[in-house]
Chains A and B, each alone.
Chain A
Amino acid sequence: MTYAGDVAALARKDLLLELRAKETLPSMLLFVIAALTIFHFALPRGTSHAAALGLLWAALIFTALLGLTRAFVAEREQGMFDALVLAPCDRSAIWLGKALAVLAFLVAAEVVALPAFAAFFSGVDGRTVAAVALADIGIATVGTLFGAMAVAGRARELLLPLLFLPMAIPIVAAGVGGYLWFLAGYDAIFAVLSWAAFEYVVAET
């Protein structure tokens, strides 16, 4: 109960920060709509649904990357990692709270992106929606861990894509193919690994 309370307090803090600063979600929304618009005009008429679906996944991954890049900005700029790390709560609660906030931003971006995709290209079936939902969990868990790793480094804008994009390849491959069990397995494995690894990521050596 205490752990859940810590996670809830930390996630609420991130949502409140975004509600006030409005820096991450508007950028994600603008990016995903712009990307889908570009794809709409770039693809020739009569392009297959499968090809368009591939571009939807590309747009979603890069939109997620944009959000992840900003996930720890407040902690970095305001020196909050030190304060959070010294608190007696389990350090993985910091990761989980942040991952939940990232997940909320991803879902909010997709609530706009999926209807836009349907308008520009073709309808989205239930299997694709389920795949996107499962992919969001994997993106949020792995991406938040890498976001924390990158924020400590000097070349953070470069480091996060280098870490995150290779890990996103299985998500895209399974998402396009609609392999829901693979996505669920990916989520379970990397959620546990990220949860366990966060303690070591925030410990400065």
Chain B
Amino acid sequence: MISARGLAKRYGDRRVFTGVDLDLAAGGFLLVTGPNGSGKTTLLRVLAGLAAPSAGELQLPERHTVGYLGHSPNVYRELSALENLTLFGRLYRLPERAERIGMLLERFGLWEMRRDRVSTFSRGMQQRLGLCRVLLHEPSLLLLDEPYNALDAQGAALLDGVFDEPRTWVVATHEPQRVERRATERLAFA
């Protein structure tokens, strides 16, 4: 699914990471840990195809099979939950859009507020909607950056359930204990 050799990323003179080698097979789970500023987010952006590596070789799956959720929920605050998901459902050309959107909103406890603007949501609800958006097109590779951010116990339990799905995962987190048992690969930045 992902293969990297000697991967490095620099911004000008600043070295973010160097010498990253990894092989992540389909169905694998890569756990990325490290302190703030160690390069976790940049690595995830490179593996999502959102940033080009400065050096090294990288093989990634096709763009439409990738889902990426960054630090922020990546949803439009002035649109409703339904409008956000409908927009991305359209861009991803989902054939049965309404059913898929309805199922995800129900699953993440957002159905009742589907017509409310996201700006009225709590940060945790926004994160749930971000997870809905990123799961919408059934990506085979999902990259999540601090996905437990702002989630309450119920939200975190919902996310734990998401990890049971048969996908390939790359997760950067400060709470490795929640997903440690799932990890098939580990990458620790110093």
Q: Tell me if B190 is interfacial: C-beta within 8 Å of chain A.
A: no
CB-defined contacts of B75 to chain A, threshold 8 Å? 78, 80, 83
Picked from B63, B64, B74, B92, the residue with its CB within 8 Å of the CB of A79 is B74
The interface-forming segment of B22-30, B31-39, B49-57, B155-163 is B49-57
| CB-based contact B79/A13 at 8 Å | yes
Question: How far, in Å, is B122 (CB) from chain A's closest CB?
Answer: 16
| CB-based contact A16/B71 at 8 Å | no
Question: How far, in Å, is B180 (CB) from chain A's closest CB?
Answer: 27
Q: Considering residues B48, B63, B76, B133, which has the most beta carbons from chain A within 10 angstroms of its beta carbon?
A: B76
| CB-based contact A88/B74 at 8 Å | no
**A21, B52: Cα distance in complex, Å:** 34
Cβ contacts B84-95/A at 8 Å (1 or 0 each)? 000110111100
Q: Tell me if B40 is interfacial: C-beta within 8 Å of chain A.
A: no
CB-defined contacts of A169 to chain B, threshold 8 Å? none
CB-defined contacts of A2 to chain B, threshold 8 Å? 93
| CB-based contact A87/B91 at 8 Å | yes
Question: How far, in Å, is A200 (CB) from chain B's closest CB?
Answer: 11
**A79, B133: Cα distance in complex, Å:** 13
Closest to A93 in B: B91
CB-defined contacts of A35 to chain B, threshold 8 Å? none
Q: Tell me if A125 is interfacial: C-beta within 8 Å of chain B.
A: no
**A135, B77: Cα distance in complex, Å:** 32
Picked from B68, B78, B91, the residue with its CB within 8 Å of the CB of A88 is B91
| CB-based contact B50/A17 at 8 Å | no
| CB-based contact B70/A79 at 8 Å | yes
| CB-based contact A86/B70 at 8 Å | no
| CB-based contact A204/B70 at 8 Å | no
A: number of interface residues (CB 8 Å): 25
| CB-based contact A13/B93 at 8 Å | no
Picked from A9, A20, A79, A204, the residue with its CB within 8 Å of the CB of B87 is A9
Q: Tell me if B138 is interfacial: C-beta within 8 Å of chain A.
A: no
From known contacts A20-B78, A74-B76, A204-B50, infer whether A83 and B93 are also in contact, taking CB-CB under 8 Å.
no
| CB-based contact B71/A88 at 8 Å | no
Interface residues of B (CB under 8 A from A): 45, 48-52, 63-64, 66-68, 70-79, 83, 87-88, 90-93, 117, 133
Interface residues of A (CB under 8 A from B): 2, 5-6, 9-10, 13, 16-17, 20-21, 74, 78-80, 82-89, 203-205
Extra contacts besides A74-B77, A85-B50, A86-B50 (19): CB < 8 Å: A2-B93, A9-B87, A9-B90, A16-B78, A16-B83, A17-B78, A17-B79, A20-B117, A74-B76, A78-B77, A82-B45, A82-B68, A82-B70, A82-B74, A84-B91, A86-B49, A87-B88, A88-B63, A88-B91
